[in-house]
A and B are shown apart, each in its own frame.
Chain A
Amino acid sequence: MEANRNEAFAACSRFASELEAYLEGESRPFIASHSRDCMSCGAMLADLLSIQRAARDLPLEEPSHMVWTNVRARLEAEGAFGIPPCTQFGEELEAYLEGESRPFIISHSQDCATCANLLADLQSIRQAARELPLEEPSRVVWANVRARLEAEGAFGTPVSGWRQLLARRVFPHAIPVGVLALLVLLGSVLTLPSNSMYRWDTSNEVAGSPAGAQMASAMPAAEDGALVRVVSDLESNFKASEASMAPDLKATYEKSLVSLDGSIRECLDSLQHEPGNTLAHDYLLTAYTRKAEILSSALEFEGR
């Protein structure tokens, strides 16, 4: 008796579990056979089939605009229309790499292998970049930058402490941006082919002065000609501003410049007699570099 009841319960349970599939059109022979054996399940099936038929006969009604609005609002609230995760990852990645807290980057990289690989690659590049040695640009580069800035009036006339302070606070990036632009310019100039650079040097103001012309003939490298031109620019600026320098400071600079000019002349003479003399060539370059530094220093202190 008990066994029969359990058998009947199991059959009704199976009927319930297969009913939905049957009503959706799947072949479920058990539904037809059980509905014949079980009065209760047979009645339920008959009701559902009649509802299904009646529903099919109903006219098609377009839901009101309000229904669609509500549906959309629900879906939006559930995040169905959010930015695709990989797009969001791309948008937040830069900020994350710059140190901002972006938890989504971590969580998404755990779920998405492609984005995780991208993140790992960028992190390893960044790590490698951190481990690169810091290279100090040569003094010639700084002297060149200084000369160009000076020529463009970047150092101007001395201003009061208040104005200096305001300028430093309000426009803190003007000089670095200028220096960056000039470095790009300098890089372009120094990467010109040597032949064209040499022609450029000798056809300009370098050839205009006797020492410049002598230097150009003694030192064929393009960079050397560029250095002479820098020194020439700096010297012009120094001469234009030396009237406003403190007399004792000016005397110190002039004495040093005289000493360097003497060594430049002597080196040039040596190179005239012995063009392959590397020691004289090295000293000549050093003297020009030192002269550029001193003129830069003079122009800097003059402005204080």
Chain B
Amino acid sequence: MIRTIVSLKSVRHILRPLVLMLLSAAVIWAADEGRLEKTFDTTREPRVSLNSLKGIVIVRGWDRAQVHVVYVVASPRVEVDSEILPDKVHFDTHLLDAALPSNQQAVDYTLDVPAGATLEIRNPQGKILVQGMQADASVQSVGADISIRDYSGHLMVHSIAGDIDVIRTSGNVEAYSVTGNLHFVSPLTTRLHGSTTSGRILYEGDFMERGDYILSDYSGDVDIVCPASASYTLSAKTLKGKVINTMPMTHRRESASPLGTSNSLLGTHNTGKATVELTSFSGTIRIHPQY
């Protein structure tokens, strides 16, 4: 029947992952407690994608042209499909039983992947930790925290309600949340955009020369803690909150509306080599020196 609909090539493409899937399922339950560990040869820059539902996802970059995966499923009624090709590795998690209790839907993944791999990770209700990667990545969660460390590629991180930690990154960073907090530590990036609605934004570190930093909050506070040697041009605006700055500024221009409903601060610290734009609707913006 299938043969009449699809070409032989398509059938082969369908069968390959299916065979892998069946083998995977067999291996899982032969192993203890639904645990699978396997290593695949890949290129040095494969595309690695993972869709999970719950549980912890850890992705680490290494210098081998291989993907090593360990995953543990909480129930035999949760299935992991995998598609393994030299330049593409994909894991997909789905429920075999829609009525499965929430606490049994988890799959914990640990992946070691080539540092040059492009990543696409989605784990709606589980934590995600990514570290030591060099290529582009898209990391998404709905309700869980995301932590990215030592990353040099272009990073897009979204978590609707979880906190986002971005530590020692050197590529472009875009981080968005709605109710979660954003925490940036020692970024070496020259382009960083962060936005949250009700969470807090905390930036700890220096600003790079010709860097462009845009941080926006709605009702949460924005805190910048940077070394006294930092060099930047600042634009800080809040409609209903306050701007508190304890860094010495030159060309300082401060304004508040006659009704006291808007506060802003424009100025330059040191020689103004980076551009920093901070906005909040009703939160407080603070800029402090790092000791």
Interface positions of A (Cβ within 8 A of B): 158, 161, 165-166, 169-170, 246-249, 252-253, 255-256, 259-260, 263, 266-267, 270, 274, 277, 279-280, 282-283, 286-287, 290, 294, 297, 301, 304
Contact = CB atoms under 8 A, between A and B. Distances in A.
Given A277-B239, A286-B195, A256 B161 contact: yes
Contact of B198 (A259, A267, A283, A297): A259
Contacts of A279: 237, 239, 262, 279, 281
A252 B179 CA distance: 10
A40 B14 CA distance: 88
Interface stretch (B5-13, B107-115, B164-172): B5-13
29 contacts: A161-B79, A161-B81, A165-B81, A169-B10, A169-B13, A170-B6, A170-B10, A246-B102, A248-B102, A249-B142, A252-B143, A253-B142, A253-B160, A256-B197, A260-B197, A263-B197, A263-B218, A266-B281, A266-B282, A267-B281, A277-B239, A277-B262, A279-B237, A283-B281, A286-B195, A297-B142, A297-B160, A301-B124, A304-B94
B219 interface: yes
A252 B81 contact: no
A287 B197 contact: yes
Contacts of B53: 304
B178 interface: yes
A277 B179 CA distance: 25
Contacts of A270: 239
B18 to A, nearest CB: 7
B178 A256 contact: yes
B94 A286 contact: no
Interface in B51-100: 51, 53, 79, 81, 94, 98
Contact of A301 (B10, B142, B281, B282): B142
Nearest to A278: B237
Contact of B179 (A255, A286, A301): A255
Nearest to A248: B102
A248 B239 contact: no
Nearest to A279: B239
A252 B160 contact: yes
A282 to B, nearest CB: 8
Interface of A is mostly: helix
B227 interface: no
Contacts of A304: 51, 53, 94
Interface string B5-33: 11000100110011000000000000000
A161 B281 CA distance: 45
A294 B178 contact: yes
Contacts of B17: 165
B208 to A, nearest CB: 22
A268 to B, nearest CB: 12
A-B pairs, top 6 by smallest CB distance, nearest first, are: A252-B143, A256-B178, A252-B161, A263-B218, A169-B14, A256-B160
A224 to B, nearest CB: 18
Contacts of B6: 169-170
Nearest to B79: A161
A260 B2 CA distance: 47
Nearest to A165: B14
With a 10 A CB-CB cut-off, give which of B18, B216, B239, B279 has the most chain A CB atoms: B239
A283 B142 contact: no
B231 interface: no
Contacts of B143: 248-249, 252
B278 to A, nearest CB: 12
Given A169-B10, A248-B143, A286-B216, A259 B239 contact: no
A263 B195 CA distance: 14
B5 A170 contact: yes
A165 B281 contact: no
B131 interface: no
Contacts of B219: 263
A282 B217 CA distance: 12
Contacts of B102: 246-248
B191 to A, nearest CB: 14
A246 B79 CA distance: 18
Contacts of A267: 281
Given A252-B125, A259-B198, A277-B239, 12 more contacts: A158-B98, A161-B79, A248-B143, A249-B125, A252-B161, A253-B142, A256-B160, A260-B197, A263-B218, A277-B262, A279-B239, A304-B94
Interface string B129-149: 000000000001011000000
Most buried by B among A166, A246, A274: A246
A259 B14 contact: no
A260 B98 CA distance: 30
Given A170-B6, A259-B198, A266-B282, A290 B178 contact: yes
Contacts of A169: 6, 10, 13-14
Contact of B197 (A158, A274, A290): A290
A284 B115 CA distance: 40
Contacts of B281: 263, 266-267, 279-280, 283
B241 to A, nearest CB: 11
